[in-house]
């Protein structure tokens, strides 16, 4: 652990969760998408677990008026705990205590959904002088296995500046993503970023490295966020603030993550994640596998 501790460059993680979740309507009329369960655990707990495992001590959840339940999820539930204790339900007790024990959770409010960059900016008052860099984790994006933020932290310790996460995507599938313009470093999984192109046609893509929802951002990002103007969709884009930093000579690198990812932000991606996790679940996996195999063979 000494190696990990010496390259720990952040202690606060920000999770923006103030979006409208329109792709999940009508459910998101009443339930924030971050609380929808992947098997039995909300996506926000999976992402908070990743933040805690990467060494974060504090989680600032940016949420909107009416979505307070996302933060309340991390508060202890003493009455429920007593009821489960009385019934001897120790496995369930352990499950409900897991979230609140992960790390210190604070809230920041984004009154209006004015974009991801604007959401991240709302967390600045929660920071202290010790926060020279912050991690940002998008709760829609499951990056598996956990651990990429620790690698990103080691890259910041070496190069300074900000570090983002990327996946190497086949060129013909690159169009839905933000794609990095990069040059190599001595490490094949670490590249220096010179720019970014949103949703390019395959022939216009500057590389095959696509952005994922993990960022390790130098504190300078908050100053950049104050200086950008609304971009696509009239929203303040986090990537525009990163682009401004690059333009001003601030070092930005990517770590290419080798693993899986799930997009929990739309029903199709969410279902895939739920099935993936459920197939590995000792309680539900075997029966689900049998049922799915039969179901797929039905006309
Ligand atoms: P998305 O655009 O994927 O989420 O933003 P959304 O806006 O909630 O979903 P749709 O598009 O309407 O279905 C990525 C992340 O940024 C947060 C979202 O909550 C999500 O976690 N976000 C986005 C904010 O916190 N505030 C915003 O103004 C926009």
Task: State what percent of residues in the chain have pLDDT above 90.
Answer: 94
Distance 297 CA to ligand 1 centre (A): 37
Distance 135 CA to ligand 1 centre (A): 17
Does position 3 have pLDDT exceeding 60, yes or no? no
- HEC per residue, 192-228: EEEEEEECCCHHHCCCCEEEEEEEEEECHHHHHHHHC
Q: Tokens 């959401």 appear where?
A: 119
Give per-residue pLDDT as tens, 141-169. Answer: 999 999 999 999 999 999 999 999 999 99
- Mean pLDDT of the region 5-30: 94
Give the phi and the psi of residue 203 in degrees, each rounded to 5: -70, -20
Ligand 1 pocket, Cβ-based, cut-off 6 angstroms: 16-23, 62, 110, 113-116, 118-119, 138-140, 265
Contact residues for 84 (Cβ-Cβ < 8 A; gap 6+): 90, 92, 93, 96
Q: Whose CA is nearest to atom 7 of ligand 1?
A: 19
Which ligand 1 atom lies nearest to the CA of residue 266? 13
- 261, 272 Cβ separation under 8 angstroms: no
Q: Which residues pair with 168 in a beta bridge?
A: 209
Distance CA 220, CA 205 (A): 28
Distance 20 CA to ligand 1 centre (A): 6
CA–CA distances in Å: residue 24 to residues 28, 65, 157, 245: 6, 18, 39, 34
Predicted TM-score of the model (pTM): 0.95
Distance CA 128, CA 299 (A): 59
Which ligand 1 atom lies nearest to the CA of residue 20? 8
């Amino acid at each position: 652990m000494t190696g990990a501790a010496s390259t720990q460059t952040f202690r606060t993680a920000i999770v923006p969760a103030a979006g409208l979740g329109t792709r999940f309507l009508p459910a998101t009329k009443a339930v924030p998408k971050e609380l929808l369960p992947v098997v039995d655990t909300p996506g926000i707990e999976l992402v908070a677990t990743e933040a805690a495992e990467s060494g974060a001590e504090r989680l600032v959840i940016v949420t909107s008026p009416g979505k307070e339940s996302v933060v309340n999820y991390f508060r202890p539930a003493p009455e429920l705990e007593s009821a489960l204790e009385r019934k001897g339900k120790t496995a369930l007790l352990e499950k409900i205590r897991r979230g609140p024990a992960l790390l210190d959770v604070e809230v920041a409010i984004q009154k209006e959904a004015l974009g991801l960059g604007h959401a991240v900016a709302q967390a600045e008052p929660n920071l202290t002088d010790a926060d020279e860099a912050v991690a940002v984790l998008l709760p829609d994006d499951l990056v598996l296995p956990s651990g990429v933020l620790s690698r990103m932290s080691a890259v910041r310790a070496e190069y300074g500046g900000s570090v983002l996460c990327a996946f190497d995507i086949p060129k013909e599938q690159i169009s839905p993503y933000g794609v990095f313009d990069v040059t190599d470093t001595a490490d094949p999984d670490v590249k220096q970023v010179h720019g970014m192109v949103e949703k390019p046609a395959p022939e216009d893509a500057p590389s095959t490295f696509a952005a994922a929802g993990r960022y390790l951002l130098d504190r300078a990002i908050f100053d950049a966020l104050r200086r950008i103007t609304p971009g696509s969709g009239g929203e303040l884009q986090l990537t525009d603030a990163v682009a401004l930093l690059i333009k001003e000579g601030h070092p930005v690198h990517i770590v290419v993550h080798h693993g899986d990812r799930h997009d929990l932000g739309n029903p199709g991606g969410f279902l895939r994640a739920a099935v993936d996790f459920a197939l590995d679940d000792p309680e539900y996996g075997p029966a689900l596998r049998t049922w799915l195999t039969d179901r797929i063979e039905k006309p």
